[in-house]
A = this chain, B = another copy of it.
């Protein structure tokens, strides 16, 4: 069902990053569900996490360990979120870090834990430990595709991308993976995404870049307005590329490539959203504030009635007006608003567009990639979000079995 989303192309190894995967059988059969990513000494590591007030045990622990500033490995399991598991869940997350640390010769606090899957069930630690045993001989720089597959839950396509930036005689590589398909409305965070580069980027700069790039990517997607208890994004920079110090211009190029990797990974989640048949951009321009533009964009992106109309390819654009009307924005005057879908005007200065016809609207709604654009004519702020439609398959996926 994914909308114009191909399996990952050629994934490039990142110097200083080795990956190993295994199938524990904890929930899924016949597929990998455990990943450890090891980072070379001296790597910088930044992350953002879900803002959920009921965040999972691994999130609490990873946030705490990350602050100690010496992360050297990430351990990720899929199938069990280890959320709403109380103090036992916290003990289990800590134990998973201890086990990985012992395998890799690290301190427990150098291992960041991540989980994704069903909320409210305890991890089966003996099964986890035995899966971990399998990893020993498997660490390799070439396992990025296997890693992308091991972290999937309801995803139908593995999500991964590599980019390179030429810096003098050296080449810097950025490779990232993400997973996510439902319960997607990151709030200053994301679903699981892990990105690594061999560029040498100090901690302060990497923190700043992470926040900025997440704001341009994962913080602009929504499938169903639901925010996960386990969202996390990590960017690691190993510095193994041996480029020497980067100039400001070179840093700008590397940042742009990282941001572009994050946008690819974030939009891949929307293209593979549960039951999605459309990839939709909601763009709001000329608002009085970015807050107003964001309020309008998310009001439209979260509206079940807009989303079912998109699914039906029904140009029932009255619902778009409804969603604008309920947006918690400060400065909206309908008399000033222009709305278009694709290249077709719906509303001009608050009045129905004279040249709109059902046929022209239908032609846009028939497309699999649609842009809905609001011009608020109030100022010069803007914002956009990416979203999907609401289909029978979304209900089936979330009602017919427990994911």
Contact of B351 with A54 in the complex, beta carbons under 8 Å: no
- Supposing A308-B395, A398-B308, A398-B309 touch, asked if A187 and B326 sit within 8 A by C-beta, the answer is yes
Tell me the minimal C-beta distance from A304 to chain B in angstroms: 4
Which residue of chain B has the shortest Cβ distance to A187 in the bound complex? B326
A residues 276-326 in Cβ contact with B at 8 Å? 302-305, 308-309, 311-312, 314, 316-319, 321-326
Residue of B whose beta carbon sits closest to that of A337: B54
How distant is A17 from chain B, measured CB to nearest CB, in Å? 31
Q: Give the A interface residue count (CB, 8 A).
A: 63
Q: Which chain A residues (316-372) contact chain B, with CB distance < 8 Å?
A: 316-319, 321-327, 329, 332, 334, 347, 350-352
In this complex, what residue of B is CB-closest to A52? B325
| Contact B322 A226, beta carbon cutoff 8 Å | yes
Task: Confirm or deny: A4 has a beta carbon within 8 angstroms of a beta carbon on chain B.
Answer: no
Q: Across the interface, which residues of B come within 8 angstroms of A88, CB to CB?
A: 352
Q: With A and B bound together, what is the CA distance between A294 and B390 in angstroms?
A: 26
Contact A226 B326 (CB under 8 A): yes
By secondary structure, the A interface counts as: loop
Binds B, one of A77-85, A106-114, A165-173: A77-85
A120 with B317: CB separation less than 8 A: yes
Copies of the polypeptide in the assembly: 2
Cα distance A319–B398 in the bound complex, in angstroms = 11
A400 at the interface (CB under 8 A from B): yes
Across the interface, A87 reaches (CB within 8 A) one of B183, B329, B351, B392, namely B351
Given contacts A87-B351, A304-B304, contact A54 B321 (CB under 8 A): yes
Provided the pairs A187-B326, A395-B392 are in contact, do residues A312 and B226 lie with their beta carbons within 8 angstroms? no
State A229–B84 Cα separation when bound (angstroms).
39
A54 with B398: CB separation less than 8 A? no
Q: Which of B121, B227, B324 contacts A326 (CB 8 A)?
A: B227
User: Is A54 a contact of B229 with CB atoms below 8 Å?
Assistant: no
A206 lies within 8 A of chain B by Cβ: no
Most buried by B among A317, A390, A395: A395
A318→B52 CA distance, assembly (Å): 13
Instruction: Using A226-B326, A305-B224, A326-B187 as known contacts, say yes or no to A318 and B53 having CB atoms under 8 A apart.
Output: no
- Chain B residues contacting A309 (CB-CB under 8 Å) are 398-399
Nearest B residue to A305 via CB reads B226
B399 touches A229 (CB 8 A): no
- Cβ-closest chain B residue relative to A324: B54
* Chain A residues packing against B (C-beta within 8 Å): 50, 52-55, 81, 83-88, 118-121, 182-183, 185, 187, 224-229, 302-305, 308-309, 311-312, 314, 316-319, 321-327, 329, 332, 334, 347, 350-352, 390-392, 394-396, 398-400, 402
Known: A120-B352, A314-B399. 4 other contacts (CB 8 A): A54-B334, A83-B318, A88-B352, A227-B326
